Amino acid sequence: MTTQDFINQRLAEEARLAQLQVQTRRHFLKESAMGLGALAMGSLLGGCGVPARRADSGLISFDPARPLLPKAPPFAGKARSVIYLHMAGAPSPLELFDYKPELAKMDGQDCPPSLLAGKQFAFIRGVPKMLGPQAKFAQHGESRAWVSEHLPHLSTVVDDICFLKAVKTDQFNHAPAQLLVHTGGSRLGRPSMGSWITYGLGTENQNLPGFVVLTSGGNFPDAGKSVWGSGFLPSVYQGVQCRSEGDPVLFIKDPDGMSRDLRKASIDAINKANQQSYDDYKDPEILSRISQYEMAYRMQIAAPEVMNINDEPDYIHEMYGTKPGRSCLANNVLLARKLVEKGVRYVQLFDWGWDAHGDHAGNSLNIGMINKYRSMDKCVTALLLDLKQRGLLEETLVVWGGEFGRTPMMENRNGATNPFKGRDHHTEAFTIWMAGGGIKKGYSYGETDEIGYYGVTGRVDAFDIQATILNQVGFDHETFTYPFQGRPFRLTDVGGRVIREVIA
Amino acid sequence: MIAQKKAWLVVAAMTAIAGSFAFFSHNDVVDFSAEVKPILNKNCLSCHGGVRAKGGFSLLFREEALANTESGKPAIIPGDPAHSEFIRRVSSDDPEVRMPYKHEPLPAEDIALLKRWVKQGAKWGDHWAYLPVKAQTVPAPALKNPDTGGRWGMNEIDAFIGEKLEANHLQPSKEADKATLLRRVSLDLIGVPPSAAQSAHFLENKDPKAYEQLVDSLLASERFGEKWTSMWLDLARYADTKGYESDQGRNVWAYRDWVIRAFNNNMPYDRFLTEQIAGDLLPNPTDAQLIATAFHRNAPNNDEGGTDNEEFRNAANLDRVNTTWEGLLGTTFACVQCHSHPYDPFRHEEYYRFLAYFDNNRDEDVSSEAPYLRQFNDSDRNSLFRLTEWVRQQAGAAEAGRVKTYLQTFQPAFNSSVADSLKNAAIINNNGSLAMFNDGWARFEKADLENADEGMIQFYCNQPGSVIELHLDSMSGPLFARVQVAHENKWKRQVFNFARQSGIHDVFLHYKSTAYRSVAGKDRSLLIFYDILSFQPSLPGNNTAGYAKAKSDYTRLLVTTNVNSIPVMMENPAAWQRDTYVWERGNRHLKGKGVTAGVPAILRFAQPANAPANRMGLAQWLTDKRNPLVSRTLVNRFWEQLFGNGIVETLEDMGTQGMAPTHQSLLDQLSYRFVNDYNWDMKRLLKEMVMSATYRQDARWHDGATEDAANKFYARGPRLRLSAEQIRDQALAASGLISDKMYGPGVMPYQPDGIWLSPYNGARWQQSKGEDQYRRAVYTYWKRTSPYPSSISFDGAQRNLCSARRIRTNTPLQALTTLNDSAYIDMSRHFAQRMTTEAGSDPVKQISRGYELLLYKPIPPKTLQVFQDLYRQSLTEFKAHPDKSTAFLPGNKPASPELAALSVVANAMMNLDEVITKN
């Protein structure tokens, strides 16, 4: 191409851009809840920035200088927020929700070869024994849902819950399986669901992060921070970890000896000097920085407030079974309610310690897991009741689950018999449940076979669940994409079906 | 007005992706790449391209487009639009027939263009980035220099930039003032502000060559390598841990040090790439050349219990392919794993041909990180040198090379996790080792026993009377070695000898214990496990002079644990060569046809005729002067580091889906010169860029209606927020805390408690002591599943995958980091102390000095006033509350309220936009 051709090309491009400009500005203004005043502050840091969505499939406006502006979803979603409760390590459905009397009859027998042929397990070697359910079951509520004796509280709210009993995965190791559930890929490097949703919707409350992560159980989930990472999306969309010990949000606390007044004075000074820089450089980026410092100051007030559960009334503490000052699931569940109440879009909880192998007492079905059930049962039930009494359950989608299921066989690690009752990782079937956010109440979808090995009807996978969650917040999972590595990427990769059967 | 600019830019991004440059050319001959290809990409290829070929019609390659479709006839008949179904379909009025199906019809001018194109023979053309780089005609714009009134421009770069400025009726800015330029070029070239000597010399130097002298001194500084290594480590996805669940430490900092040295020594880029891609395949590779290959050992590995090593071995190889393309070739190739590229001319099979370059490396995702280089201490290195020389005299160079490689790497060796046909045995320890019980059996396939009379096993044994017996070819095959295994309850490496063997055999390993007593209820207590097994010829030259000494050195070097083990790339020996197959739809379990190593056809012109089909051949192709992508990618990346955006903004993709270059002739001219005139000299390339008038412009906006908001025509200098590393390093430098210590293991500066909580991993963040707390950011320990928080706040890459570009954002969490992170508070206190030391007790002088230390220019009076007010308010408060000054200045007793107040000012100054921005 000659130089002149090249210039012609640029000019033609300019002309075309000018045409599109009017239309896009209208779109941008409509989407921006903060209106013109905020827009006037904005600018671009990185030149043309990251290309957002393809022109023909709508447009997610991305402004690197104000990346968290609230945006409307492509269609009206029923849920305004999502609380995802992940029991890291993968709880056993056979002890909680998936009642299998036939399995009890097989307890102690050798596993039939048909269940082992061509299968790969994480720890089972050779021929393991079958292991009957380590719980008594009963039906509850008008929906007659089966729940085990381990969940006496949750069994009282089953009429608000929709069970998915035949979820499957293709990953039998924790880190890849957790990555698949939350990022749509079993390897490192993809954005998490919360990042996608924050990218698409921005933040409703500018004084709080849009995507908050809370962990309990003493460890991070196996896949580490990658399960709330932003992958190839800008890092601003990664989950912000809020903590019940130390600073509730990293670096939110003023240094020792610096009063709030002094912090205010110093931010004012920074902003005054920055305004002088703006007068000199006329770079709108400086105005954006001024507003980020103002926002930081407001976040310093808002975040500790919302993270402080001490001011909640006694009956709430009683209801959740919280232990103020400690790091525990109950505290995090209560925090999750407070956060969605304040407009946080996506709250991701991880509770570590559900890996019921039975190679020691702490992770055995008959000892360690009993404690895990207790620590989860009361507070998660309280969350549903509390959201409901505040009128928030309809607009908050609550999801509960693990990363895979557990084998109906007893684990025989390295070919030996484990000393305690435990089950290996199992990909074929597990239970995830949802509540609120426009999902059917008192419903159960999908069934497993008589021993809980395979799903036989209503099988769904992580992509289907992601597609459904995105649908509930107002996105079509097939058109909600981001260009990376030369193609539009989406959370659900090339899979996913909205599970219409569970939508109210 | 600004809102308009923003909207305009969003559209710019969107439009570039859609690639709509269809309207401009009025030439008679249609340009396929510039005119036709964008229409096809936008409207046709999602159904008729690499992923799908609906109706048997694909528009990806010319031969596909002209081939018979499902109808039995071709859809495009060159020269005959009237009979071409393709034209009929896009022009039809019938919505059931018209293409694109169920979409708006193409604009009439697009259809006319396509007709004209078919009429002219439906000629194909290649995308610019895949065509050879050619020297360009240098334009001669006549812009006025706003400083001198003469002609604007210092070098060729300005000629190309000036041409576009002129065409767009834009004027260049005057040159930035000296102080701004000093800080800008210093942060850009060495990542930290200039030293006091450098700044004094430059600011007082009236020599017209003062700027060039400054640039030369920065390029010669050891700090230079540290800065550019930070950039390279994002591409190399360097981390100090392996990733995934257990995310164990990885001892690979020697690679980071290699990169720093390579940049500082100005290693030519062709050699820089060759050593990283294929250093192990160079003749007699040095330690450094082996360490360089850790570039591709930075792929994540998975040690989680129960994982399939073969799955993650393959995952690492896919990552190596994708990293090579995205990082070194500026081309997205990852999508070709599952299907032909939907838009660019790469076929599905070509992905696997490229994968074959990596399929025979020895990394099998084992927790030992084998293959690794055992880097000896100086004395052992001398022994190795003497020993190797001795073997060369006894048995020749090839044998000397074999012995050296074996002692340094144990290769070729079996990873015990590949054992199969197990009986009374299991793979344990997160797939790291093979455990054997009494009377246990395991098979090792295809052991090369040609001339072998020695073996080595690395094991842990907890049972007395343990014996290993090795059989040839079957459990009942000939017994060729019997080894009494030491029972020491610790890891041990044992060498054993046997009668000389020949040929390639399966080896059946039989373990038993003569002292074994079964205990009731504990029928299978663990007896032995191990991770490495090797067979090789013993040291040659027995019965010759010097043998005893040589043998003693040999044995010592084999068993010593006083080594630094660094994962490196090495190839499988002949007996273990894997065949590589196409994976249908990207699934490794669906093996398609077999392939051999090679590069995509469209780029084969850059491959030397005699290039071997291994990583060395790959390196030769990458560094061939004709390779059109490697030089463009590097030039584009360096440009982006200095100017904020690449000439092609999508650094990761110069393909048809990337953004169009803003100055393609400039990109090509610099790329051509880089290879042909500068001989791959990276410092020379950077010097050319920073010497340009374009780079030296003032960054102030023109504040006119013609403002180019994204600065894509460069009518003003670059003004960018600093990177995570620059922000930390600058604050360390200003506070006087910065350590100039180089190299060594990753360090752990201050980090709040509770950031690391990985399961099954006892590792804890142990805050470094002394100067190690204050090392440059490039030395900060990088844990993949829990990266250093303040670095991530400022858009640092996660380093799980190759990251070709960081997107700069602006968030309140960044403000909170530099305001409140204890590391920054600590630096603020020291910065205040330095102001006091250098400027005495007058707060006006202190504040002015502080500003100069950060920005190298006098503080404007209004800014001084702002900080004087802050100082006064702080001082009043600290005087009224001495407890607060004590809290703010821990360790200073009695705490001076003046120093506390000045520290508040110092903290605020470090947060100024001008300070965290390159102006």
Q: How far is B487 from chain A (nearest CA, A)?
A: 23
Q: Compute the 3-state secondary structure of chain A and give helix, strand, coil in percent, each to the nearest 5.
A: 40, 20, 45
B652 touches chain A (CB under 8 A): yes
Rounded to an integer, what distance in angstroms lies between the CA atom of residue B332 and that of residue B659? 13
Cα–Cα distances in Å, from B541 out to B380, B383, B385, B396? 21, 17, 17, 11
DSSP at A24: H
The residue among A220 and B161 whose pLDDT is bigger is: B161
Closest CA to B819 of A208, A242, A255: A255
Reply yes or no on whether the pLDDT at B3 is more than 80: no
pLDDT of residue A6: 41
Q: Which of A42, A45, A296 sits opposite B812 (nearest CB)?
A: A296
- Average pLDDT score over residue span A378-398: 96
Is the pTM higher than 0.90? The answer reads no
For B14-38, how does the pLDDT look when each residue is reduced to its tens digit (9 = 90+)? 333 333 333 344 457 888 888 888 8
- Average pLDDT score over residue span B778-788: 91
Task: Give the nearest chain B residue to A352 (CA atoms).
Answer: B759
The residue among B305 and B247 whose pLDDT is bigger is: B247
A65 with B810: Cβ contact below 8 A: yes
Reply yes or no on whether the pLDDT at B345 is more than 70: yes
pLDDT of residue A477: 95
**Is residue B822 within a helix (H) or strand (E), and if so which, with residue range?**
helix B822-839
For B259-298, how does the pLDDT look when each residue is reduced to its tens digit (9 = 90+)? 999 999 999 999 999 999 999 999 999 999 999 999 999 9
B199 touches chain A (CB under 8 A): no
Cβ atoms of B324 and B603 within 8 Å: the answer is no
**A32-46, A272-286, A487-501: range with lowest mean pLDDT:** A32-46
Reply yes or no on whether the pLDDT at B892 is more than 90: no
In the block, tokens 């102001």 appear at B835
Q: How far is A147 from chain B (nearest CA, A)?
A: 30
pLDDT of residue B407: 97
Q: Which of B300, B659, B709 sits opposite A44 (nearest CB)?
A: B709
Rounded to an integer, what distance in angstroms lies between the CA atom of residue B564 and that of residue B534? 20
Interface of B with A in 353-382 (CB under 8 A): none
Interface of A with B in 201-260 (CB under 8 A): 209, 215, 218-226, 229, 234-236, 238, 240, 243, 245-247, 249-259
Rounded to an integer, what distance in angstroms lies between the CA atom of residue A199 and that of residue A215? 22
pLDDT of residue B50: 64
Task: Give the nearest chain A residue to B242 (CA atoms).
Answer: A188
Reply yes or no on whether the pLDDT at A46 is more than 50: no
For B427-438, how does the pLDDT look when each residue is reduced to its tens digit (9 = 90+)? 876 667 788 888
Reply yes or no on whether the pLDDT at B244 is more than 50: yes
In the block, tokens 């035949």 appear at A166
Q: Which stretches within B560-661 are classed as H helix?
A: 615-622, 630-643
pLDDT of residue A217: 84
For A79-119, how does the pLDDT look when each residue is reduced to its tens digit (9 = 90+)? 999 999 999 999 999 999 999 999 999 999 999 998 988 88
Per-residue confidence at A415, pLDDT binned at 50, 70, 90? low
Task: Give the nearest chain B residue to A274 (CA atoms).
Answer: B913
Which pair of structure tokens corresponds to residue B547? 């043998």
pLDDT of residue B21: 36
Task: Give the nearest chain A residue to B884 (CA atoms).
Answer: A257
CATH says B410-551 is which class? mainly beta
A425 touches chain B (CB under 8 A): yes
pLDDT of residue B761: 65
pLDDT of residue A127: 87
B808 touches chain A (CB under 8 A): yes
- Cis amide linkage into residue A133, ω under 30° from 0: no
B528 touches chain A (CB under 8 A): no
- Cis amide linkage into residue B193, ω under 30° from 0: no
Using DSSP, state whether B29 is helix, strand or coil.
coil
Residue ranges per domain, chain B? 2-125, 235-359+580-622, 410-551, 822-918
For B489-544, how does the pLDDT look when each residue is reduced to its tens digit (9 = 90+)? 888 899 999 999 999 999 999 998 877 766 554 545 556 677 789 999 999 999 89
B819 with A296: Cβ contact below 8 A: yes
Cβ atoms of A228 and A182 within 8 Å: the answer is yes
**A181-185, A415-419, B317-321: range with lowest mean pLDDT:** A415-419
B101 touches chain A (CB under 8 A): no
Calculate the CA A14 to chain-centre distance: 42
- Cis amide linkage into residue B100, ω under 30° from 0: yes
Backbone phi, psi, residue B296, to 5°: -95, 10
Backbone phi, psi, residue B873, to 5°: -65, -40
B5 touches chain A (CB under 8 A): yes
Interface of A with B in 141-200 (CB under 8 A): 172-176, 187-189
For B100-142, how does the pLDDT look when each residue is reduced to its tens digit (9 = 90+)? 888 888 898 999 999 999 998 888 888 899 999 999 999 999 9
R_g of chain B computed on alpha carbons: 32
Rounded to an integer, what distance in angstroms lies between the CA atom of residue B885 and that of residue B473? 79
Q: What percent of chain A has pLDDT over 70?
A: 86
The residue among B686 and A282 whose pLDDT is bigger is: B686
pLDDT of residue B634: 98
Which pair of structure tokens corresponds to residue B723? 């990177």
Task: Give the nearest chain B residue to A254 (CA atoms).
Answer: B820
Rounded to an integer, what distance in angstroms lies between the CA atom of residue B465 and that of residue B912? 72
For B398, residues 6+ apart whose C-beta sits below 8 A from its C-beta are none
Which pair of structure tokens corresponds to residue B154? 């210092």
A360 touches chain B (CB under 8 A): no
**Is residue B180 within a helix (H) or strand (E), and if so which, with residue range?**
helix B178-190
B787 touches chain A (CB under 8 A): yes
A218 with B757: Cβ contact below 8 A: yes
Using DSSP, state whether B504 is helix, strand or coil.
strand
Strand partners, A433: A163, A400
Reply yes or no on whether the pLDDT at B743 is more than 90: yes
pLDDT of residue B797: 86
- For the domain spanning A81-248+309-502, the CATH number is 3.40.720.10
- Chain B residues whose beta carbon lies within 8 Å of the beta carbon of residue A5: 24-25, 27, 31, 34
Rounded to an integer, what distance in angstroms lies between the CA atom of residue A276 and that of residue A279? 5
- Average pLDDT score over residue span B838-847: 96
B862 touches chain A (CB under 8 A): yes
Which pair of structure tokens corresponds to residue B118? 């078919």
pLDDT of residue B759: 66
- Average pLDDT score over residue span B249-268: 97
Q: How far is B870 from chain A (nearest CA, A)?
A: 7
Rounded to an integer, what distance in angstroms lies between the CA atom of residue B612 and that of residue B15? 42
Per-residue confidence at B570, pLDDT binned at 50, 70, 90? very high
**How many residues comprise chain A?**
504
Interface of B with A in 493-512 (CB under 8 A): none
pLDDT of residue B6: 39
B653 touches chain A (CB under 8 A): yes
Highest mean pLDDT among A24-33, B318-327, B580-589: B318-327
- Chain B residues whose beta carbon lies within 8 Å of the beta carbon of residue A219: 757-759
Task: Give the nearest chain A residue to B702 (CA atoms).
Answer: A282
Residue ranges per domain, chain A? 3-31, 81-248+309-502, 260-299
R_g of chain A computed on alpha carbons: 25
In the block, tokens 């838009």 appear at B343
- Chain A residues whose beta carbon lies within 8 Å of the beta carbon of residue B128: 1
Average pLDDT, chain B: 90
Cα–Cα distances in Å, from B487 out to B439, B461, B467? 17, 5, 10
Task: Give the nearest chain B residue to A355 (CA atoms).
Answer: B759
- Average pLDDT score over residue span A471-500: 89
Other Cβ atoms closer than 10 A to A494: 11
Task: Give the nearest chain B residue to A188 (CA atoms).
Answer: B800
Average pLDDT, chain A: 84
Q: How far is B572 from chain A (nearest CA, A)?
A: 26
Calculate the CA B17 to chain-centre distance: 25
Task: Give the nearest chain B residue to A53 (CA atoms).
Answer: B14
